[in-house]
């Protein structure tokens, strides 16, 4: 099971699996961005900067921001182009059926489902030690730094 950000870093493995006749079942959750990193970014006071696949609204030289239209990124089509069978699903019931079909297949199969990038994932109750800027004009970053300092003080090391 991979999100689209992870998929973009490992899609070439599909080619290898197809080439070598190794069956993989990949569940590809596409939310058109880096949702987990976006959530982390937001928790660190950075407002999900650069975590959605969007066009720039203007030229970089004139300060164009990444807040234009959504890029037409079709990772299911990409997986097909790499030789995998792809099952596109939109509901939980379709997902269940596709997983059974993928398991029964003897070929590498990608089960593709689009999701809401802002839908929250279950809490892990863990803490990821990602430092936050000590100095910032953004109130969200200042608040995140306070939270970071508190969490850092209670961090336990296991080595």
- How does pLDDT run along the chain (159 residues), one tens digit per residue? 998 888 988 899 999 999 999 999 999 998 887 767 767 777 777 776 777 778 888 777 777 777 788 888 899 999 999 999 999 999 999 999 999 999 999 999 999 998 877 776 677 777 778 888 889 888 888 988 998 899 888 887 776
Closest CA to 25 of 1, 6, 5: 1
Torsion sign over Cα 130, 133, 138, 140: positive
Side-chain-side CA neighbours of residue 93 (13 Å)? 0
Cβ–Cβ < 8 Å for 103, 26 = no
Give the pLDDT score at 159.
Answer: 66
Give the pLDDT score at 140.
Answer: 86
Instruction: For residue 111, count other CB atoms closer than 10 A to its CB.
Output: 24
Give the pLDDT score at 113.
Answer: 95
Cβ–Cβ < 8 Å for 28, 4 = yes
Give the pLDDT score at 35.
Answer: 67
Output the pTM of the full model.
Answer: 0.73
> Could you say which DSSP state residue 120 is in?
P
């Amino acid at each position: 099971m991979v999100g689209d950000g992870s998929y973009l870093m490992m899609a070439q493995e599909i080619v290898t699996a197809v080439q070598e006749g190794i069956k993989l079942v990949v569940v590809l959750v596409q939310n058109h961005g880096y949702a987990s990193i976006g959530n982390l970014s937001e928790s660190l006071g950075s407002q999900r900067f650069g975590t959605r696949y969007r066009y720039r609204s203007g030229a970089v030289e004139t300060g164009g921001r990444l807040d234009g239209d959504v890029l037409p990124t079709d990772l299911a089509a990409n997986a097909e182009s790499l030789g995998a069978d792809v099952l596109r699903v939109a509901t939980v019931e379709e997902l269940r059926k596709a997983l059974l079909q993928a398991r029964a297949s003897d070929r590498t199969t990608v089960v593709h489902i689009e999701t809401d990038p802002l839908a929250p994932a279950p809490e892990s109750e863990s803490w990821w030690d990602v430092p936050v800027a000590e100095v910032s004009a953004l109130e969200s970053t200042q608040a995140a730094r306070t939270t970071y300092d508190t969490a850092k003080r209670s961090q336990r090391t296991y080595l």
